[in-house]
Chains A and B, each alone.
Chain A
Amino acid sequence: QQQVKQSPQSLIVQKGGISIINCAYENTAFDYFPWYQQFPGKGPALLIAIRPDVSEKKEGRFTISFNKSAKQFSLHIMDSQPGDSATYFCAASISGGAQKLVFGQGTRLTINP
Chain B
Amino acid sequence: DAGVIQSPRHEVTEMGQEVTLRCKPISGHDYLFWYRQTMMRGLELLIYFNNNVPIDDSGMPEDRFSAKMPNASFSTLKIQPSEPRDSAVYFCASSFLFGGTEAFFGQGTRLTVV
Contact = CB atoms under 8 A, between A and B. Distances in A.
Contacts of A104: 42
A58 interface: no
Given A43-B93, A44-B43, A103-B43, A98 B102 contact: yes
A32 B56 contact: no
A96 B102 CA distance: 10
A105 B4 CA distance: 23
Nearest to A95: B100
Interface size bracket, A side = 20 to 34
Interface string A73-105: 000000000000000010000001111111111
A24 to B, nearest CB: 15
B49 to A, nearest CB: 11
Nearest to B89: A43
By secondary structure, the A interface counts as: loop
A111 interface: no
Contacts of B52: none
B107 interface: yes
A101 B45 contact: yes
Contacts of B107: 41-43
Interface of A: 32, 34, 41-46, 49, 89, 96-106
Please name the 6 residue pairs, one residue from A and one from B, whose CB atoms are nearest each other, closest first.
Answer: A43-B105, A98-B103, A98-B95, A103-B43, A46-B102, A105-B42
